[in-house]
Chain A
């Protein structure tokens, strides 16, 4: 099986090479994306098989890589779980790209490479291969983010993206180095035997959080994400948001939960809880305020990454407190939500791509009323949005239910500091979930409901059949994952047992999710069936009493007069725009957390210019993190330049001084 997976990765790399000449042909895109579709589907199949029958035992050693560390591949429950997500999302994204009008030829080769990089990261069984795949994935996706490099903001996003990717690597490599210590071992099997302790462990934790967190988009290292994810072609955005962030979280879980060994103290979870909660809140709030559909989805990704991180952090806390069952619960929440989010976020990004293509814009302020022109896209997007809003019985709710249950059980940790921290996290997670629902309602309501806002938007049309299927399939999967989370979760049992302790089991019984002995259960199938039953009975009863079909008439609109003929979409002033819908949250939370500001430019009486209302926000990570870093860099560069402007004689003096200083140092050392 590993051989098959490895050759699949190899084929993807070869495909990337072949895509260079293929890109010049007319059917090249179809060939490449078709092959990617097949490869991704195979990946999903193999991963599912590995999860079902148990992963292969022996690692696969490849004759590749640098001489001191030949690549080692292995598959265990954890990596197979994420590989499954990669396969599912990758297949949907490739299918979408197949039906999408071809982009520029330069976007073809990086795409298979991107898939290969992610797969390699997941399959890696040594640190070098892991980082290799990780950076390959970043480099390939950078090329895709920079696809529209003529636009300055696209270039800026790409630059920030690659710089953050390098930052991740520069944190993760020392993390592995610290883990290995002077032995220099890189293979995971060896690293597991060297669990770090004390300050060394803390340093590994901090570096892993910085490195993987920067790639996953954890606050405060998230500034690049809402810029970079939307800049790529939509099917790539889908993968970046849906899968790549999960790969980063996989690295985090692998490092902190697996390689550092099970004997780490409880407090290791606290930084994860704090960063996760901050990410969830800030991401959801930004999602509720963003006015670009893809940026909104990217911010929602930050939120979900935060939720998953909370789950991982809780697992650490519980494991440190010897509460294996609860650790399994928290870990299951993280894993299940990772899978679910990957699928529904892929769906949503594909829908956003379909909208951007069909309606000519992804700015919410230029969309509207698309539910009529694009019924299939609208329905799929609705499924995705409702899942993202964590509504039962869709998949998003299952994961969040587990997470909330794990958080609620946090009081079982017998330390009041942990209890209060977990309770606060619980509140923030709940708030983030509600904010996410608000953001999703706003996304769907503004883009698909109401009236069109531009002529181009009014002329939208439904997308091609492959694109529709690329949305229908993940939409169906979202429903299925929502209805059957328990059997799916049981597939993750090897991963849970490996990370939470050998006795830990998946919190699933039959078809229901189970929050531990004596605790509550969530029966999605029952809930769904009862909902359907209630709905059907209701419809039947109401129809009996009220059989008349609905009549159509102009909207009442609180008595506003019918719009004049030159306003074909009605009076735009009577339809709230994206900024208007965001107004309550902007004022309630945005002003405090995101420095949101509203400015009204009111002309004096007698002036003929229109009044203008501008609203915006500034993410605090920019002024608090990036700006000081850039300032510091500039000051350092100033100093460096002052050195450069020395005259030749001064340079000679410097050489001379170096020599004298070294001689003096030598004399001193010898005298000691």
Chain B
């Protein structure tokens, strides 16, 4: 599986799309668009998992793909939309760092991911190498998104996006035990539920999901 071969190219392509979608998540201002991008990312992740299942010949990855499709591409985005509708957040447009600096930081993060991963993975299968670099990019971009957003929902989305990156890494590493992937997926859902509960609580308590309001209430603040 080297450059120019189909399995590699497709995996590479799907990973690249995920990174691109992460960039979309990073700069998109509108909440609904962010959720849309996140849903697409989930879908791409499912495709990547399915592709890996086919390439590696490990059927349990289909399960992973299915979970990703159901949870990441459908369930969670739908729930997010419902949440947004209920909390009436359509018009709230959240800007944080500014789009230019965010993108520059994002590019730097991707460069770092590649710089860190590629040199040390010389003994690993080449496809996995690329996959790891892309997955790390997605993870770090998700983290960056959490940093640049002040809105609790978007922070949850960032966290979920990070998890997408994790799954991408997990499916990329051939032969990861199924149970780990299953429970990871289950925990992502659980974490989402917990995050959703919090968003509700925050909204209920502060009439806003802007965590700037939250920080005023830190215990022991002078």
Contacts and interface: CB of A to CB of B under 8 A. Distances in A.
Interface string B135-165: 0000010011011111000000000000000
B147 A649 contact: yes
A645 interface: yes
A512 to B, nearest CB: 70
B215 interface: yes
A142 B214 CA distance: 43
A663 B218 CA distance: 31
Interface in A626-672: 641, 645, 647-649, 652-653, 655-656, 660, 663-664, 666-667, 670
Contact of B143 (A652, A667, A670): A652
7 contacts: A648-B211, A649-B147, A649-B149, A649-B211, A656-B140, A663-B112, A663-B116
Contact of B215 (A647, A664, A670): A647
Interface in B57-72: none
Nearest to B220: A644
B120 to A, nearest CB: 7
A653 B101 CA distance: 14
A666 B116 contact: yes
A336 B105 CA distance: 74
B100 interface: no
Contact of A656 (B115, B144, B212): B144
A656 B142 CA distance: 11
Interface of B: 96, 112, 115-116, 119-120, 140, 143-144, 146-150, 211-212, 214-215, 218, 221-222
A668 to B, nearest CB: 11
Chain B contact residues: helix, strand, loop or mixed: helix
A541 to B, nearest CB: 82
A643 to B, nearest CB: 13
A656 B147 contact: yes
Contacts of B116: 663, 666-667
Interface in A110-160: none
Contacts of B148: 649
A670 B115 CA distance: 12
Interface string A196-238: 0000000000000000000000000000000000000000000
A663 B116 CA distance: 7
Given A645-B221, A648-B211, A648-B214, A660 B112 contact: yes
A648 B112 contact: no
A653 B146 CA distance: 9
Contacts of A660: 112
A168 B13 CA distance: 65
Contacts of B96: 649
A641 B143 CA distance: 25
B115 A653 contact: no
Given A641-B222, A652-B146, A653-B147, 14 more contacts: A645-B221, A645-B222, A647-B212, A648-B211, A649-B146, A649-B211, A655-B143, A656-B143, A656-B144, A656-B147, A663-B116, A667-B115, A667-B116, A667-B119
Contacts of B215: 647-648
Nearest to B146: A652
A656 B97 CA distance: 15
Q: Which of A641, A660, A670 gathers most chain B CB within 10 Å?
A: A660
Contacts of B150: 649
A671 to B, nearest CB: 9
A31 to B, nearest CB: 47
A649 to B, nearest CB: 5
B208 to A, nearest CB: 15
A451 B112 CA distance: 87
A72 B218 CA distance: 51
Q: What are the 6 A-B residue pairs with the smallest beta carbon separation, nearest first? A: A652-B147, A653-B147, A647-B215, A663-B116, A649-B147, A656-B143
Contacts of B147: 649, 652-653, 656
